Amino acid sequence: MRVGVLGARGKVGTEICRAVEATDGLVLVAQIDVGDDLQTLVDTDTEVVVDFTHPDAVMDHLEFCVAHGIHAVVGTTGFDGPRLQRLREILGADPETGILVAPNFSIGALLMMRFAALAARHFESVEIVELHHPHKADAPSGTARRTAELVG
């Protein structure tokens, strides 16, 4: 599978590029970052992108991908209700293109969300407290938002 990485020079993007290059059956064909032309994805016949960029850019990236039939896995944060609704509208233009948006790719975070949902049934109320570096692109994080949804 031909893979492009958006946010390729970022901390997570760099690791994704390494992982793609180390995985049989995957070929890293595009490494895109701020200021790079998305047309490179089309020119390299990219089949799927992994997007770890910024909330201000991700919707334009997804619109481009859907318009060109490129599937996407998105780890970029900041997907709230209106943004997800906009994504549904974009996907309506090409229902054959798949987009996966995940608030967190960490096994530990996924287990924490599951355990929080299970434990919440046994308490009158719950509180979610998170701590991030001062440059975090969104607060609360997608992980915190999803955890809040799960604990209801």
Catalytic pick from 68, 133, 135, 136?
Answer: 136
132 is catalytic: yes
Q: From CA 92, how far away is CA 56, in angstroms rounded? A: 22
Catalytic pick from 11, 132, 133, 135?
Answer: 132
68 is catalytic: no
Contacts of 80 (CB under 8 A, 6+ apart): 145
**Active site amino acids:** 132, 136
